[in-house]
Amino acid sequence: DVKVTQSSRYLVKRTGEKVFLECVQDMDHENMFWYRQDPGLGLRLIYFSYDVKMKEKGDIPEGYSVSREKKERFSLILESASTNQTSMYLCASSSPQVETQYFGPGTRLLVL
């Protein structure tokens, strides 16, 4: 079974802190994605990566950066956390040959 894991299920941080959200997949997928999900807004794509060291902005990249040093790991970085970044963060991966995405369990981040 494809497995996508995220480093934390729940996280509480203070405004201004640097926050790292880690995502690891074990299926050798080329593509990895970070979304945030807020009530009534659905899932919004923050960044995605189609190869190691490659990244592309999604729809809402402001306030975020990403890192993909290894194929299996995709990190989302909040350089200076703000209260409006309180959200559910979802990581996903896929391969070019199979169009479906596989999601991690999500990280619920609260910024105080």
Partner 1 sequence: SQQGEEDPQALSIQEGENATMNCSYKTSINNLQWYRQNSGRGLVHLILIRSNEREKHSGRLRVTLDTSKKSSSLLITASRAADTASYFCSPFSGGYNKLIFGAGTRLAVHP
Pairing relationship of beta strands 42-49 and 107-111 according to DSSP bridges: unpaired
- Beta-carbon-side half-sphere exposure of residue 9 (alpha carbons within 13 Å): 1
Task: For residue 106, state whether it binds partner 1 (rule: CB under 8 A).
Answer: yes
Any contact of residue 35 with partner 1 (CB under 8 A)?
yes
Instruction: Say how many residues touch partner 1, by CB under 8 A.
Output: 29
Q: Is 84 in the site for partner 1 (CB under 8 A)?
A: no
Residue 50 sits in the site that holds partner 1 (CB under 8 A): yes
Could you say whether residue 40 binds partner 1 (CB under 8 A)? yes
Q: Is 28 in the site for partner 1 (CB under 8 A)?
A: no
CA-closest candidate to residue 108, choices 24, 40, 19, 16: 19
Cα gap 58→47, rounded to integer Å: 5
Closest CA to 91 of 6, 8, 17: 6
Where does this chain bind partner 1 (CB under 8 A)? 4, 31, 33, 35, 40-43, 45, 48, 50, 56, 58-59, 88, 90, 92, 94-96, 99-106, 108
